[in-house]
Amino acid sequence: MNDVELKQGYFGEFGGSFVPPELKEVLDMLAEQFEKYKNDPEFMEEFKFYLKEFVGRENPLSFARNLTEEYGGAKIYLKREDLNHTGAHKINNVIGQILLAKRMGAKRIIAETGAGQHGVATATACSMFGMDCTIYMGKLDTERQALNVFRMELLGAKIVSVDKGQGRLKDAVDEALGDLVQNYENTFYLLGSAVGPHPFPTMVKHFQSVISEESKRQILEKEGKLPDAVIAVTGGGSNAIGAFAHYIDEPSVRLIGVEPDKAATLTHGVPGVIHGFKCLVLLDEDGNPQPTYSIAAGLDYPGIGPEHSYLKTSGRAEYHAVNKEEVLEAFQLLAKKEGIIPALESAHAVAYAKKLAPQLSKDQIIIINISGRGDKDVQQAFDMIKK
């Protein structure tokens, strides 16, 4: 598989591992184990087995006839990550990391969650694999996401509400890392996106690459050629890097990431270190990470995966911002025209397709990665649209 990593864990100047020595030691061990298993046929066969039997892969690459007609121009295909068990791409990575945890002899999984989506995916897989599961969540987030807290408890997870700092995702991550350093002998920290210190971005990409592995095979079957563009939303960057991975070495395929205009890390960010790795980051005047805002909870993050930072600065991928109105319009249009209510996150990618499709000709092809389904967002959409 393509890998732009020049030095271990680096993508150009981005990535790396900027963490205290005791944590570095634990992460080095993890990197070593990941290297050992990532190309092990038996390990990957087991991974594919659970993707099929538990997640429901492969999911379809659906031709969106009505959306194609509506936007005019290129043929639009949808990669249906929304059809996975738990309703999004996050479960792909969770299954991969839990299998690695089992190989490493861990009995206990810990994870962070903000809006709760990664926590729910982790709790789901821990239940099936019979692993002890602890989810760290900012106190403020546990209050705003009470239903997801209940969901995780139903699935057998223990929720630790963190009221240090601002009681947000960042504080939950710090607590979880502290737990890992204390308990690394029996505990595995399962990170949810293509961010964080090495080896997490590389590992998450490895497990999410199944998205483009499938879509490439599917588009060749259906159209006999590669797509002209692949569009995906970027929060931390995991669904996008998975949707891009098998096309990075195909220069004819445009790779397009879409972000919210109020958290436009790749559009406006500058190189900086946050949360233990170097990436493009939105900083305020004092050089601190800027508060971000998105109507999609999964995109509310001031940093971005190191490989996206590299793909942007090297020019291999392009990144564009869309606003709230464009997202809400795309959310409703996909529901009305294709019978698919997308996650508000995924609606960002659809919104950009509206701009791109008419610029291309009818024999060109766009793949939009529908990262998740929108059931979780219906109440919020109701409040925004009807009130």
Ligand X SMILES: *Cc1c(COP(=O)(O)O)cnc(C)c1O
Among 343, 347, 350, 368, binds ligand X (CB under 6 A): 343
Give the integer Cα–Cα distance in Å for 279 and 43: 31
CA distances for 119 relative to 189, 263, 264, 381, angstroms: 12, 22, 25, 22
Sole window of 21-29, 55-63, 238-246, 263-271 interacting with ligand X (rule: CB under 6 A): 238-246
Residue 321 near residue 263 (C-beta atoms within 8 A): no
Q: Which of 38, 75, 79, 90 is catalytic?
A: 90
Among 215, 239, 294, 309, binds ligand X (CB under 6 A): 239
Q: Is 346 an active-site residue?
A: no
Listed in sequence order, the DSSP H helices in 263-356 are: 265-268, 306-313, 324-338, 344-356
Residue 260 near residue 316 (C-beta atoms within 8 A): no
Q: Which is nearer to ligand X, 251 or 339 (CB)?
A: 339
CA angle (97, 281, 278) in 5-degree steps: 55
List the strands of the sheet with 75-80, edge to edge: 61-63, 75-80, 365-370, 229-233, 254-260, 317-322
Q: Is 86 in the site for ligand X (CB under 6 A)?
A: no
Sole window of 44-52, 62-70, 282-290, 342-350 interacting with ligand X (rule: CB under 6 A): 342-350
Site for ligand X in 368-387 (CB under 6 A): 371-372
Sole window of 27-35, 67-75, 127-135, 227-235 interacting with ligand X (rule: CB under 6 A): 227-235
Least gap, CB of 226 to ligand X (angstroms):
22
Give the integer Cα–Cα distance in Å for 109 and 125: 10
Site string for ligand X, 151-170 (x = CB under 6 A): --------------------
Residue with nearest beta carbon to ligand X: 372
Site string for ligand X, 102-131 (x = CB under 6 A): ---------------x--------------
Helix (H) or strand (E) holding 367: strand 365-370
Q: Is 134 in the site for ligand X (CB under 6 A)?
A: no
Q: Is 38 an active-site residue?
A: no
Q: Which is nearer to ligand X, 229 or 349 (CB)?
A: 349
Q: Is 142 in the site for ligand X (CB under 6 A)?
A: no
Question: Cis peptide leading into 260, omega within 30 of 0?
Answer: no
Q: Is 112 an active-site residue?
A: yes
Helix (H) or strand (E) holding 38: helix 21-38
Cite the active site residues: 90, 112, 371
Which residues of this protein are in contact with ligand X, per CB under 6 A?
88, 90, 117, 193, 233-240, 298-299, 343, 345-346, 371-372
